[in-house]
């Protein structure tokens, strides 16, 4: 038996043996990717003539049965292995943010919605489900979690993130990674490929993939924290760099970032794969390298192991450069070693093919999956305002439901869901990297009035939902099912964007005759020209559109109780909604269980407990706005010099980070620290009692913040250090115990070394970043310097 086929040897030993036997052609195959999307079978065979490192599974999105999706994987894997001299299988990769792109696969709420749950334990279960379903179909690399920090609601991909805070993203992303990488299905193990390393959402103008100017300290301390946490705490095995140039250098070609920071400092030892077309982007868009081949070599030398989704820079000319010695063969060997080690870790040499028949269905389906999706949807709901309109009274006679989202269940599915990615196929113009583009100014394109957004209210788009989720109810259907004795009328009212007021008068007639009004608000978080936000779909306007604000103001004249339910990938921001609505529920994109989750909240069957994972700006002029800003800046700037507000609005956000209401009330008491002095290598226990003082059972997210009272560098006004979502029955008390290590207080000093600095640390316990209920202090007794990867990222928590 060849050593590389011996399962008793380590992946490293097997890789060394196989690498020594491979031809140059077979090696180059391993750093390339096959993209079966509209290709003929002959062209695919030619592209993979020496085997292939990766296969994109985006084409699975249109396959209309689970069995055919599995057969598609088997067919391509068989071809790849037959073409490879040593029968090396390919890694099949698939997105995983909101579930697999496979027929009958489960769908989950958007990333920002799951961030609003503040529940890492639930997020780990989400990762486990995604992993299991994709593994059953032969997919071993999950392109998630999204570890980006988002401080800019203009950027269309805010809805993919866990929000603005590095500790929250670290805890949630680490949990998701553990879920993906913990299990085994059909003899295979999956690995996460986290996105988008690094600082992606700090792009200039909130424009997707544009230049970023980010100081090294901010890059490491804030944008790097979730990645470092997932590497250390969950052994993250995959990284996808962002498209941006940072400080004059494309991430995809930056040895400083992909080797110096990621591998040498952070300790990452997995695969680095390019975002789709990113290697070509380095040369064609960012104008790096005198040729595409030179750009490809720069990327590989920087630490980019695989070019996805097509071979452009890792090409035949580059192969000749390795053959002739113009390029150092060690560069290629290092990349190939990482790819092969991953394949051995994943178990695909022994189990390369998707399951089939009963084995496939038994592995793929689990009755608990929908329950987890429903729980995630319910926990994502954030109650932003409530003047007593919620929960609904049971003696209502007439309800008017207004808004295009209410009658269209597709509004529940955000960007990077299976549904939105199939919608992209029918979009007139593309905004997703790696796909063919289009022109939103085409004459034959029907648009939402006042916008360039393609109308999607057609049979071909409705057919996608019927195919994928035939039992998924819209909000209107769920309300009528749950309230059979209430007369519920519906009117379209207004579209997702723009200034079309032509439907308002008819909707106002419905308002006039109703006892209560439910409005669905927001845009379309999805893909390409049918979306108002998503990948490459950015906006300078982060507020509700004119048509929706206008309707709210006009409807308010009738004096009826009005409830707003918001759907989108960015938070609701509207003066009209704040002023006139009696209740506002932030629903994000709750996915296939969205209608059930929302109606349970409206009826009081579920008490909302979600908290805002981002600070909400009044308008785009406030951006960036985030709670953990440096001392003396943002809405604390007035402590220094100047007015405390803008001349036309507050410096403070509309809704603070961590904010969210409940149908009950929680009391905080008895803050206790187990010590007042802490050495750098020690930990401190912080205990608080929380009691449900209201009349309903409910969830509260207990939030721990720390503040460095005085330091040698400008530090944040406060930082999230830990959190715990807990359920309390009426009158129930629980003690929440945070265990925080002193290394969580570490920061980069003047010499850019990680320092645990002596001095006073203030402890804050609250229900939001602004609603602080209790405070105390402790002292770190001495200075100590550590490696950045050795620090801790969020406090452990137990409830007793």
Confidence tier at 277 by pLDDT (50, 70, 90)? very high
Q: What's the pLDDT at 430?
A: 80
Contacts of 75 (CB under 8 A, 6+ apart): none
**Residue-level pLDDT at 788:** 96
721 neighbors 702 (Cβ within 8 angstroms): no
Span 303-330, pLDDT tens digits? 999 999 999 999 999 999 999 999 999 9
Nearest CA-CA partner of 139 in 453, 363, 396: 363
Instruction: Please check the confidence at residue 733 and state whether its pLDDT lies above 60.
Output: yes
Judged against a pLDDT cut of 90, whether residue 435 lies above it is answered with no
Gap between the Cα atoms of 649 and 293, Å rounded? 52
The rounded distance, in Å, linking the Cα atoms of 745 and 752 is 15
- Integer Rg of the chain from CA: 26
| Percent of the chain whose pLDDT exceeds 90 | 93
65: left (phi over 0), alpha (psi -120 to 50) or beta: beta
pLDDT of 640 > 90? The answer is no
pLDDT in tens, 92-140: 999 999 999 999 999 999 999 999 999 999 999 999 999 999 999 999 9
- Structural contact between residues 763 and 673, judged by C-beta atoms closer than 8 angstroms: yes
> In the structure, how many helices (H) and strands (E) does the chain have?
23, 30
Average pLDDT, the chain: 96
Instruction: Render pLDDT for 652-683 as a digit per residue (tens, 0 to 9).
Output: 999 999 999 999 999 999 999 999 999 999 99
Distance CA 229, CA 745 (A): 15
Predicted confidence (pLDDT) per residue in 491-546, tens digit = 999 999 999 999 999 999 999 999 999 999 999 999 988 999 999 999 999 999 99
- pLDDT for 459: 87
| Res 441 pLDDT > 90 | no
Inter-axis angle of helices 368-380 and 120-136, nearest 10: 140
Residue 211 has pLDDT above 80, yes or no: yes
Query: What are the two backbone dihedrals, phi and then psi, of residue 128, each rounded to the nearest 5 degrees?
Result: -65, -40
Residue 685, φ and ψ in degrees, nearest 5: -100, 130
Q: What is the residue whose two structure tokens read 């390393």?
A: 197
Closest alpha carbon to 219 in 301, 274, 145, 148: 148
Q: Which of 491, 477, 485 is nearest to 392 (CA)?
A: 485
Q: Which two tokens stand for residue 638?
A: 């007035």
Q: What is the pLDDT of residue 539?
A: 96
pLDDT tens, 214-264? 999 999 999 999 999 999 999 999 999 999 999 999 999 999 999 999 999
- Confidence label for 436 from pLDDT (cuts 50, 70 and 90): low
pLDDT band at residue 38, thresholds of 50, 70 and 90?
A: confident
Q: How crowded is residue 433: how many other Cβ atoms within 10 Å of its Cβ?
A: 17
Residue found under tokens 């486990």: 128
Instruction: Say whether 497 sits in a helix, a strand or coil.
Output: coil
pLDDT at residue 445 above 90? Answer: no
Inter-residue contact 56 to 37 (CB < 8 Å): yes
Return the SS3 of 217: helix
Answering whether pTM is above 0.85, one says yes
Instruction: Let me know how long the chain is.
Output: 800
Residue 355 pLDDT > 60: yes
Of residues 426 and 333, more confidence is placed in 333
Distance CA 180, CA 133 (A): 10
* Cβ-contact 93, 141 below 8 angstroms: yes
d(CA 424, CA 446): 16
Pairing status of strand 719-728 against strand 677-678? unpaired
């Amino acid at each position: 038996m060849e050593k590389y086929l011996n399962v008793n040897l380590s992946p490293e030993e097997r890789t060394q043996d196989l690498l020594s036997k491979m031809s140059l052609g077979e090696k180059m195959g391993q750093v390339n990717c096959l993209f079966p999307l509209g290709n003929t079978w002959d062209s695919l065979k030619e592209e993979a003539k020496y085997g292939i490192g990766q296969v994109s599974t985006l084409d699975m999105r249109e396959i209309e049965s689970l069995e055919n999706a599995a057969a598609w994987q088997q067919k391509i894997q068989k071809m790849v292995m037959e073409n490879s001299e040593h029968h090396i299988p390919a890694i099949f990769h698939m997105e995983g943010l909101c579930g697999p792109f496979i027929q009958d696969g489960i769908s989950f709420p958007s990333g920002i919605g799951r961030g609003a749950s503040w529940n890492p334990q639930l997020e780990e279960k989400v990762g486990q489900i995604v992993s299991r379903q994709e593994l059953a179909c032969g997919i071993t690399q999950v392109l998630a979690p999204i570890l980006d920090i988002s401080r800019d609601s203009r950027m269309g991909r805010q809805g993919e993130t866990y929000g603005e805070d590095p500790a929250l993203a670290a805890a949630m992303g680490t949990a998701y990674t553990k879920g993906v990488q913990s299990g085994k299905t059909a003899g295979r193990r999956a690995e996460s490929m986290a996105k988008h390393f690094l600082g992606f959402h700090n792009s200039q103008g909130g424009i997707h993939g544009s230049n970023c100017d980010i100081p090294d300290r901010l890059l490491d301390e804030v944008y790097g924290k979730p990645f470092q946490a997932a590497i250390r705490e969950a052994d993250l095995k995959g990284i996808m760099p962002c498209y941006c140039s940072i400080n004059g250098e494309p991430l995809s070609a930056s040895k400083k970032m992909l080797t110096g920071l990621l591998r040498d400092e952070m300790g990452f030892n997995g695969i680095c794969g390019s975002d789709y077309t990113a290697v070509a982007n380095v040369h064609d868009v960012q104008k790096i390298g005198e040729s595409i081949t030179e750009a490809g070599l720069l990327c590989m030398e920087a630490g980019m192991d695989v070019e996805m989704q097509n071979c452009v820079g890792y090409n035949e000319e580059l192969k000749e450069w390795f053959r002739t010695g113009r390029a150092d063969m060690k560069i290629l060997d290092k990349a190939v070693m990482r790819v092969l080690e991953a394949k051995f870790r994943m178990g695909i040499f022994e189990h390369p093919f998707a399951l089939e028949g009963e084995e496939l269905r038994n592995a793929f389906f689990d009755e608990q999956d929908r329950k987890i999706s429903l729980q995630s949807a319910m926990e994502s709901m954030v109650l932003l305002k409530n003047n007593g309109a919620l929960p609904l009274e049971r003696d209502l006679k007439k309800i008017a439901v207004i808004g295009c989202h209410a009658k269209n269940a597709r509004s529940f599915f955000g960007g990077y869901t299976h549904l939105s990615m199939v919608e992209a196929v029918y979009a007139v113009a593309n905004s997703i990297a790696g796909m063919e583009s289009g022109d939103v100014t085409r004459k034959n394109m029907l648009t939402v009035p006042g916008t360039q957004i393609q109308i999607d209210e057609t049979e071909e788009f409705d057919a996608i939902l019927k195919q994928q989720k035939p039992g998924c109810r819209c909000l209107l259907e769920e309300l009528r099912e749950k309230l059979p004795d209430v007369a519920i009328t519906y009117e379209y009212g207004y579209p997702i964007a723009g200034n079309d007021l032509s439907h308002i008068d008819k909707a106002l007639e419905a308002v006039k005759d109703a006892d209560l009004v439910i409005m669905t608000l927001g845009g379309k978080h999805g893909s390409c020209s049918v979306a108002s936000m998503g990948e490459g779909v950015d906006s300078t306007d982060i507020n509700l559109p004119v048509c929706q604000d206008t309707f709210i103001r006009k409807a308010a004249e009738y004096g009826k109780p009005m409830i707003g339910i918001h759907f989108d990938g960015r938070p609701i921001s509207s003066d009209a909604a704040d002023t006139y609505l009696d209740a506002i529920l932030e629903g994000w994109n709750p996915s296939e269980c969205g209608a059930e989750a929302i109606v349970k909240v409206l009826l009081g069957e579920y008490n909302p407990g979600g908290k805002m994972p981002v600070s909400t700006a009044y308008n785009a002029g406030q951006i960036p706005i985030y709670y953990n800003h440096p001392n003396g800046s943002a809405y604390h700037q007035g402590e220094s010099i100047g007015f405390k507000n803008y001349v036309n609005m507050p410096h403070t956000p509309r809704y603070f980070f961590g904010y969210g209401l409940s149908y009950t009330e929680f009391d905080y008491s008895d803050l206790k620290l187990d010590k007042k002095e802490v050495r750098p290598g020690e930990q401190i226990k912080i205990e608080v009692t929380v009691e449900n003082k209201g009349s309903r059972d409910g969830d509260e997210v207990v939030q721990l913040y720390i503040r460095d009272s005085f330091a040698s560098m400008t530090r944040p006004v406060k930082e999230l250090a830990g959190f715990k979502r807990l359920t309390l029955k009426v009158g129930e008390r629980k003690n929440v115990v945070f265990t925080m290590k002193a290394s969580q207080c570490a920061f980069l000093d003047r010499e850019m070394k990680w320092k645990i600095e002596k001095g006073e640390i203030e402890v804050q316990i609250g229900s939001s970043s602004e609603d602080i209920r209790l405070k105390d202090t402790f002292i770190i007794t001495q200075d100590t310097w550590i490696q950045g990867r050795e620090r801790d990222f969020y406090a452990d928590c137990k409830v007793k």
